[in-house]
Amino acid sequence: MGFLRNIKFMKKGGSNPLLEKLKLFYNTLSAPFIQREEEAEVIVLSLLSNEHALFIGEPGTAKSAIVRRAASLLKAKYFYYVLNKYTEPDELFGPIDINELKTKGIYKRRIEGKLPLAEIAFLDEIFNANTAILNTLLSLLQERIFINGDEKIQSPLISLFSASNDIPDEVELRALYDRLLFRHHVRPVSESKLKELFKAGIEIELKGVIEEEPVMEISELKKIQEQVYFVLEKTKDRKDILQQYARLIVIFREQGIQVTDRRAIKGLKAVAANAVFNGRDYVEPKDFMVLKYVIPETIDDFGKVAAIVSEEIRLPSRYLKDLEILERNILRLRKEIRRLPTYDFRIISYSRELLIIERKLRKIAREAIDDNEVLNRVEKLLEIIGEIKDSLVSKSSLYGKDL
């Protein structure tokens, strides 16, 4: 099941209806899928950014199903196609209008129900696109423009989602690859979730796919997109954020991860979208974690980018892991100290170990000053340390002298 996003900003004294709808959209989108929260997140971020995305992975991992569901929940015009090496332009952009050609001599396509008029699209095996398709597709992705005979059509395309088993090596496909801002490596459901997957699959086999009513309108999505641009505009004046972002880009490049200037700039748009998705009208360092969906160029880069960002910004998840280790040590000390007889010589060494742990906790609290979850954990652990200190004092007056 999807988790609730903490979307709560922009309207003092109450919740923002648009952002509540965004939260509902995300949760409804991810709900029927097992272990596909990240895929739903990529879809939402792409839509908020008005950008495109690539899902990399083997067939049978619900990539097209979750995108189709997103379109349905938005009541968006949807186009889906599986490309092969022989796919003709007619199949994506519409057949030639023979009547226009005969009567007016205009080479025009009938585009109703085709990619140029889609609001959300999914192209499976996108890198099978041949040269006859490529230039038109690039123009559509980049400029949202489709030239149809003597007419220049503004495409309503919000986001094009795509899938491929592999990342392309061919030079002629690199431009297409670069146009897909968000990239996500889709993995099969983990072993621990297989039973849930089987149960969900049986339900679908027995009852079919339950169609949900739309939960959000395209017009509402566009209003939230405006907020993304507002946050991006504000970020220009955030010297702290830009400095930390620049440092991350330098580190990526030093680690051999290719980051073009264009992708680095676009990355800030993704960061702003992540802030809005999480209910803020300003960027925080933790929003940089979205770069794990933007920066990777190769399959190996996905884990590398996430590790670099996590290390550089000290995400709460990293602090929470540290706190788990410290908590285990605190509970071990409490257990051992309870067994100590009065005036045992080990009281001094235990006291010093407690002091080291306490200093580490206070350091974490200083670094994670804006994260309530981390601060609450630290406070509880410091309370336990206080209780252990009282226990030590009652066992020996040496405790007070040796701290």
CA distance 363 to 378: 10
Q: Which pLDDT score is estimated for 82?
A: 96
Q: Which pLDDT score is estimated for 399?
A: 42
CB 6 within 8 A of CB 15: no
CB 279 within 8 A of CB 8: yes
Please give the CATH superfamily to which domain 17-207 belongs: P-loop containing nucleotide triphosphate hydrolases (3.40.50.300)
Q: Which pLDDT score is estimated for 402?
A: 45
φ/ψ region of 343 (left if φ > 0, alpha if ψ in -120 to 50, else beta) reads left
In the predicted model, residues of the chain with pLDDT beneath 70 are 1-15, 209, 315-318, 343, 370, 396-403
Q: Which amino acid is at 141?
A: L
CB 141 within 8 A of CB 116: no
Q: Where are the domains of the chain?
A: 17-207, 218-313, 316-402
Q: Which pLDDT score is estimated for 8?
A: 44
CATH number of 218-313: 1.10.8
Global pTM value: 0.76
Q: Which pLDDT score is estimated for 401?
A: 45
Q: Which pLDDT score is estimated for 144?
A: 96
Q: Which pLDDT score is estimated for 353?
A: 92
Nearest C-alpha neighbor of 48 from the set 281, 262, 304, 272: 272
Nearest C-alpha neighbor of 216 from the set 8, 28, 2: 28
Q: Which pLDDT score is estimated for 288?
A: 96
The CA-based angle 347-352-356, given to 5 degrees, is 145
CA distance 148 to 145: 10
Q: Which pLDDT score is estimated for 375?
A: 87
Nearest C-alpha neighbor of 87 from the set 134, 42, 154, 141: 134
Q: Which pLDDT score is estimated for 370?
A: 66
Q: What is the 3-state secondary structure (H, E, C) of the chain?
A: CCCCCCCCCCCCCCCCHHHHHHHHHHHHHHCCCCCCHHHHHHHHHHHHHCCCEEEECCCCCCHHHHHHHHHHHHCCCEEEEECCCCCCHHHHHCCECHHHHHHHCCCCECCCCCHHHCCEEEEECHHHCCHHHHHHHHHHHHHCEEEECCEEEECCCCEEEEEECCCCCCHHHHHHHHHCCEEEECCCCCHHHHHHHHHHHHHHHHHCCCCCCCCCCHHHHHHHHHHHHHHHHHHCCCHHHHHHHHHHHHHHHHCCCCCCHHHHHHHHHHHHHHHHHCCCCCCCHHHHHHHHHCCCCCHHHHHHHHHHHHHHHCCHHHHHHHHHHHHHHHHHHHHHHHCCCCCCCHHHHHHHHHHHHHHHHHHHHHHCCCCHHHHHHHHHHHHHHHHHHHHHHHHCCHHHHHC
Q: Which amino acid is at 378?
A: V
